[in-house]
């Protein structure tokens, strides 16, 4: 039997460009792009039998890490299942004659794709839950003290950092924001 597996990924969050025009007996679709709770993938891996074929658009659709990819490939080898990665034009049964440099480059690129995918969907989930993203803002009291020390021209940037805990780059970023908001208010 030919199975397909799709799930939201960074460049195709609605799965519109995955496994188009491909004859598949059963298509399994994950509803989210997160690494955890991929129940459709778990059910699919349990259902696959000897000589079945699994088609995925690319490796990132199937796995979230090199370790997970390795585990799935071991399972496929043990159960004699063919997995086809369409974008990479690879299958787990294809023998690749590649140099060490080519292999290292491929896996480095793959690791970057895994990280990008994971970060994107984790941030989206956090935003949907109302969690604040990014570094927390400095307390307003410290910020006002830093502004007044800077504006007085009696203190060095080191003195300001020691008194407020606000670094030079952070202070300049806040000063840029302050001057932008002032110019916006005057327009």
Q: Between 89 and 4, where is the model more confident? A: 4
- Predicted pLDDT of residue 126: 80
pLDDT single digits (tens) 105-163? 888 888 888 888 788 878 887 888 888 777 766 567 888 888 899 999 999 989 988 98
Query: 69 is written with which tokens?
Result: 């990819």
The answer to whether residues 12 and 35 touch, using CB atoms and an 8 Å cutoff, is: no
CA distance 102 to 49: 33
- Predicted pLDDT of residue 46: 95
pLDDT level of residue 52 (50, 70, 90 thresholds)? very high
Residues 6 or more apart from 58 whose CB is under 8 A from it? 9, 85, 86, 87, 88
Listing DSSP states for 119-175 in one string gives: HHHHHHHHHHTT---SSPPPPHHHHHHHHHHHHHT-S-HHHHHHHH---HHHHHHHH
CA distance 109 to 45: 26
Residue 94: pLDDT over 60 = yes
């Amino acid at each position: 039997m030919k199975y397909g597996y799709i799930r939201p990924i960074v460049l195709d969050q609605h799965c519109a460009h995955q496994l188009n025009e491909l004859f598949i007996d059963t298509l399994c679709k994950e509803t989210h792009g997160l690494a955890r709770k991929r129940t459709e993938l778990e059910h699919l891996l349990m259902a696959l039998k000897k000589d079945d074929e699994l088609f995925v658009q690319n490796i990132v659709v199937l796995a979230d890490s090199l370790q997970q990819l390795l585990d799935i490939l071991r399972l496929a080898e043990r159960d004699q299942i063919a997995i086809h990665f369409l974008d990479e034009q690879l299958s787990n049964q294809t023998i690749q004659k590649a140099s060490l440099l080519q292999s290292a480059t491929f896996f480095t690129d793959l690791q970057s794709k895994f990280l990008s995918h994971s970060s994107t969907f984790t941030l989206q989930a956090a935003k949907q839950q109302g969690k604040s993203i990014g570094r927390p803002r400095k307390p307003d009291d410290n910020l006002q003290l830093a502004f007044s020390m800077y504006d007085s021209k009696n203190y060095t940037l080191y003195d300001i950092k020691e008194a407020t805990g606000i670094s030079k780059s952070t202070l300049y970023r806040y000063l840029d924001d302050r001057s932008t908001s002032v110019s916006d208010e005057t327009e």
